[in-house]
Amino acid sequence: MEKGIRIADLFGNEGEYTGKPVRVQGWVRTRRDSKAGISFIELNDGSCLKSLQVVAGLENPAYRDLLEKITNGSAVMVEGTVSASPGKGQAIELQAERIELYGWADPATYPLQKKRHSFEFLRQIAHLRPRTNTIGAVSRVRSRLSYAIHRFFAERGFNYLHTPIITASDCEGAGEIFRVTTLDPLHPAAPGAGNSYQDDFFAKPAYLTVSGQLQAEIFALALGRVYTFGPTFRAENSNTSRHLAEFWMIEPEAAFYDLEDNLDLARDFIKNLAAVVLNECAEDLDFFTRFIEPELRSRLETVVNSPFEVITYTEAVDRLQKSGEKFVYPVEWGNDLQAEHERFLTEKVFQRPVGVIDFPRSLKPFYMRVNDDQKTVGAMDILVPGTGEIIGGSQREERLDVLLDQMKLKGISIEDYRWYVELRQFGSAPHSGFGLGFERLVQFVTGLANIREAIPFPRTPGHAEF
């Protein structure tokens, strides 16, 4: 009897297990009894999308009395022999010899039915939704991608860096920030009450991080290549399908990388991860392509196989203006590219991933490197079909005098960022990096319409359950 077998192991080695006794454990997806006296139990253990068909004789004395309790959602153990399946849709099945019930699920109240549930409904039962095909598949892809991201950077000499979750700097003023305080809101010294912060935990204003980039720069200028992969918080009061209040961000930062090196890294990164999904998540990808987004597989193949187009922001604006396309937001040099513009470029104009570089200085944060034209900075966005912008990055300003000018221009306090300025006073060096929202990536590789399905426990305005 081989114990501790995952159903994925059985399906992955069909020949090897046929005729052998095994023990499997999982949750019942469905059960149906045939007139011929056989009960068919679909058992899923989360190791893969497919469920294992368990074949149980209704009159088998070993478990006859138990079968009525084998309801949808119940947790069970089955011992039996693997056999070739005569049924359609599966190569093998399990002939049950012994069944044990770990935990019954009452069919009168178990919320997951065989039918398809809406994602809105499933969010309300976030403790049970991982047992659905879609959330199970997303969760496996998410985990596989996390591993692949660490592997990608490790193979290229990048050190994994843990940047603080609580910070005292409002980095780039990206969206709204969450304040961290131990003071009761009614305390006379509570933030907003017009008093000093001396009674508060950090004795000054503190926030949840919106980005680990500035701290990553510190370590890039010592270790050479680093990356962060951690939680990030933005109190964006927008209810969009692309924004979460808590999300995970990946931010590589490399010394001696110029914008071109940075673009190469971002391109390799996206190609590598798209290939991981194609090669290592084939079953889940097929599911998403069949049930969520028909173009998904071909989008990923395009990312892996096509060279990326690289154009300047100025060229992009020109292309958009000449396209004759009607956009909701006007296209004008100096305006930010909106999702509709980004998608038009990558889906219609070039039909492949696009890197857009050299954005107007006025659009971008103070730390981006000013180009010789004085009007643009060495920024880069990577656009992909179906999503638009997936990565944003830049070469950072390493020249002390230019950085100070930029800070003045953008109203950034030099006192608050003393340490950032000192990095330009003591052994400054060219360096670059980018940021990628992990859930945007998960959305891109699964075709999910809403980012709330791309994270186990979504936090959005009005929602922080579970």
Please give the residue ranges that form the binding site for ligand ATP (CB under 6 A): 174, 234, 236, 242-244, 247, 249, 389, 391-392, 435-437, 439-440
Q: How far is the CB of 242 from ligand ATP (least distance, A)?
A: 6
Least distance (Å) from Mn ion to the CB of residue 175? 5
C-beta of residue 89 within 8 angstroms of C-beta of residue 11: no
Shortest gap between Cβ of 86 and ligand ATP (angstroms)?
Answer: 48
Closer CB to ligand ATP, residue 80 or residue 355? Answer: 355
Residue 382's closest CA among 370, 397, 394, 368?
Answer: 394
- Cα–Cα distances (Å) from 377 to 62, 170, 382, in that order, read 73, 21, 16
Contact stretch for Mn ion (CB under 5 A) within 143-151, 174-182, 221-229, 393-401 = 174-182
Nearer to ligand ATP, 284 or 389 (CB): 389
Contacting residues for 432 by C-beta, under 8 A, at least 6 apart: 253, 254, 257, 258, 259, 261, 262, 378, 393, 394, 395, 396
Partner that binds at residue 224, options Mn ion, ligand ATP, none, CB closer than 5 to 8 Å by kind:
none
- Could you tell me how far CA 171 lies from the centroid of its own chain? 22
Nearest Cα to Cα of residue 247 among 83, 391, 42, 457: 457
- Cβ of residue 174: shortest distance to Mn ion, in angstroms? 6
Picking from 449, 143, 440, the residue whose alpha carbon sits closest to that of residue 293 is 449
By beta-carbon proximity to Mn ion, the closer residue of 175 and 224 is 175
Choose the stretch contacting Mn ion; rule: CB under 5 A; options: 93-101, 169-177, 334-342, 414-422. 169-177
Nearer to ligand ATP, 200 or 251 (CB): 251
DSSP states along 227-268: EEEEEEE-------SS--SEEEEEEEEEET--HHHHHHHHHH
Q: Which does 230 bind (CB under 5 to 8 A by kind): Mn ion, ligand ATP, none?
A: none
* Measured distance CA(456)–CA(54) in Å, rounded: 29
Find tokens 């069909």 and name the residue.
Answer: 14
Return the one option of Mn ion, ligand ATP, none that residue 389 interacts with (CB less than 5 to 8 A, by type).
ligand ATP
Number of residues near Mn ion (by CB under 5 A): 1
| CA 459 to centroid of chain Cα atoms | 14
Minimum separation from the CB atom of position 235 to Mn ion (A): 11
From the list ligand ATP, Mn ion, none, partner contacted by residue 269 (C-beta under 5 to 8 A by kind): none
* Cβ-based nearer residue to ligand ATP, 94 or 436: 436
The piece of 108-116, 175-183, 381-389, 400-408 that touches Mn ion (CB under 5 A) is: 175-183
Nearest C-alpha neighbor of 364 from the set 213, 230, 158 = 213
Residue whose CB is less far from Mn ion, 87 or 173 = 173
CB 359 within 8 A of CB 377: yes
Cβ proximity to ligand ATP: between 249 and 354 the closer is 249
DSSP secondary structure string for all residues of 271-303 = HHHHHHHHHH-HHHHHHHHHHT-TTHHHHHHHH
- Residue 437 partner contact from ligand ATP, Mn ion, none using kind-dependent CB cut-offs of 5 to 8 Å: ligand ATP
Q: In terms of CB distance, is 342 or 398 closer to Mn ion?
A: 342
Per CB under 5 A, which region of 63-71, 79-87, 172-180, 454-462 contacts Mn ion?
172-180
The residue sitting closest to ligand ATP, measured at its beta carbon, is 437
Smallest gap from Cβ 98 to ligand ATP, in A, equals: 47
**Region of 19-27, 148-156, 170-178, 433-441 interacting with Mn ion (CB under 5 A):** 170-178
Q: Please identify, using beta-carbon distances, which residue of 63 and 344 lies nearer to ligand ATP.
A: 344
DSSP, collapsed to helix, strand or coil, labels residue 67 as helix
Q: Kindly report the backbone phi and psi dihedral angles of residue 169, in degrees, each rounded to the nearest multiple of 5, phi listed first.
A: -115, 135
Bridge-based pairing state of the strands 246-255 and 431-437: antiparallel
Smallest distance from ligand ATP to CB 243, Å: 4
- SS3 sequence, 310-368? EEEHHHHHHHHHHCCCCCCCCCCCCCCCCHHHHHHHHHHHCCCCEEEEEEEHHHCCCCE
Residue with Cβ nearer ligand ATP (12 or 231): 231
Q: How far apart are CB 259 and ligand ATP at their closest, in Å?
A: 16
Instruction: Specify the residue, 57 or 175, whose C-beta has the smaller distance to Mn ion.
Output: 175
| Residue 233 Cβ vs ligand ATP, minimum distance, rounded to whole Å | 9
Residue 392 Cβ vs Mn ion, minimum distance, rounded to whole Å: 10
Partner in contact with 440, chosen from Mn ion, ligand ATP, none, beta carbon below 5 to 8 Å by kind: ligand ATP
Contacts (Cβ under 8 Å, ≥6 apart) of 374: 361
CA separation, residue 394 to residues 7, 63, 213 (Å): 45, 64, 11
Q: Where are the alpha helices (DSSP H) in 156-232?
A: 213-223
Partner from ligand ATP, Mn ion, none binding residue 246, C-beta < 5-8 Å depending on class: none
Residue nearest to Mn ion (CB): 175
Closest contact distance (angstroms) between CB of 365 and ligand ATP is 8
Binding site for Mn ion (CB under 5 A): 175
